[in-house]
Structure 1
């Protein structure tokens, strides 16, 4: 049984140019390799999001459900976030 399957895909012109450029630059041996690498990167990102959801988001949700009094009002969170963003802006200037 073959481990690959031939497909025909249609890409927007700019994406197709980018694929061809990566091959002509020598980054990849073929257009198929570019597409495979893109799909691997997409899978890695999806796995990372799934891991984040299962670990951090679920844990935070469970902690909130166990003790809702520890939750911070949204207004307070926005104030802290804005203050931090202002601080970063000052540091950059």
Structure 2
């Protein structure tokens, strides 16, 4: 595997994990219910896409950290993870 593809893959994985962590942190701080109950309620009320989008805010921080460290391929991976989150939001809103 080419070195730049491995770096993009690392950035992508970090971006997905950051999105999951951001979603969890949002639920932890702003929801009175447990994680499972909040996710079930969000799915029932068509708010799951909003939770994913709020979790993607953490990707912004990771992206700028990679840019500051001149790790441009990892930053590209984070952008790909953010695009994946945007597609998940679109799918959850329209389906």
Give the TM interval when normalised to the shorter protein.
Answer: 0.3 to 0.5
| Structure whose alpha-carbon radius of gyration is higher | 1
RCO (CA 8 Å, sep 6+): is it higher in 1 or 2?
2
Q: TM-score, normalised by structure 1?
A: 0.34
Structure 1 or 2: larger helix share? 2
Q: Given the two structures, how large is their TM-score scaled by the length of structure 2?
A: 0.34
